Every structure is written in structure tokens, then in C-alpha cells.
Amino acid sequence: MHAPLDTPYADARADALSFALGLPPLDALAVLPVERGGLTVELRLLGASHQVIAGPLSETVACLPGDAEPLPGHASTDLPGWTYEFAATTAALSDDTAFGRAVEALCERLADRGDALTGDFPGSPHAVTALALEQTVLERAAGRKIEARTPAPEETGIGWRTWHAYPQTREIVMTRSRLVRPT
């Protein structure tokens, strides 16, 4: 789902992003609920980046006020009945053309997916935040006509990725998260 946003881009820099688990749902500019294997996942675009609510977890990556934790390269924790893993990287692109192409390619890749939410902020066509559930083995195989069994979320969990594009610094922050039920 594409969501053109009418609010100013609130994040100033990639290195100002912080990370929090367990926050209540924050005011969102757009929300996409997706059901996957009996688990409802809410992909939420905030004025200051993203929030994902999945089962017992809420993950927030945003410019948060106060003594918020900086965005880690990796984090993990155990929740009742679940294990959570998070990873983040930042790509710095060399020029505006390369940055623009990367953001446009991302938006094209996610455009027709019912499990992806992309928001663009006014002022720059490349000021974009995007969230997407990771596709299952079956969804990836469908395009190649390969038979594959999709494990239930109870067996393997659910994953999602996010992208935060900063035109002023030509940086793209990419996160990958996974919520897994131990067997």
C-alpha cells in the first residue's frame, strides 16, 4: 500500500534514530494490518519513522524524545513464548542519482504487495519510509513454480524489513526483524 503523506518529514538524520521495544501504539500517519498464519501484524508509519506491532511485541524505530536508546546494529530478547531478533545497517550512497535510483527501485519492488506499506513525505520524492513483511518460502517460490511448504508462524515465526531514506544525507537505514516461537 502506498500512502502519500501530508506531514513534514520529522527525521533529520539517520544517526538520530533510536530503538525501543514495548511502547504503546503511537499516533500513526498510516497503518496496514496484515494477517499471516493467524498472527496480526500492524505496519505503522509515524511522523518520525516506523512502528511494528506483532503479537506480544511492539518495535519502534524513530527519533524518540528523552533518553531513548540509539539504533543498535543488532538486538535480541526473549518474550513469553517468543524470541525476537533485530538488525540494522545504514547504506551511504555516493551521489544524488545513485540515491534516487535506490529509493525508486525499492518503491517499485514494494508497489504491488499487499503486505507492504510505503509512505513518501512532501518536499522530496525520495523522503520515503517503507515497511514490508518478509515473504514466505511459498510466496518466493510461486514466481518460479517451485513447490514449497510454508511453515506455520508457530514453527518459524514472522519477519519484516524496513527502509528509512534520508535525501539530505543520501543514507538509507535498513532494518530486519524476526519474531520466532521456539519449538
pLDDT at 149: 41
pTM to 2 decimal places:
0.86
* Residue 33, all three cell numbers: 494490518
Condensed to tens digits (0 to 9), the pLDDT of residues 42-52 reads 999 997 689 99
Q: What is the largest CA-CA distance in the chain?
A: 50
Condensed to tens digits (0 to 9), the pLDDT of residues 8-31 reads 765 567 888 999 999 999 999 999
Condensed to tens digits (0 to 9), the pLDDT of residues 67-115 reads 677 899 999 999 988 999 999 999 999 999 999 999 999 999 999 999 9
> What's the mean per-residue pLDDT of the chain?
85
- Rounded Cα gap, residues 44 and 15, in angstroms: 21
Residues 175, 61: contact at Cβ < 8 Å?
yes
- Rounded Cα gap, residues 73 and 84, in angstroms: 14
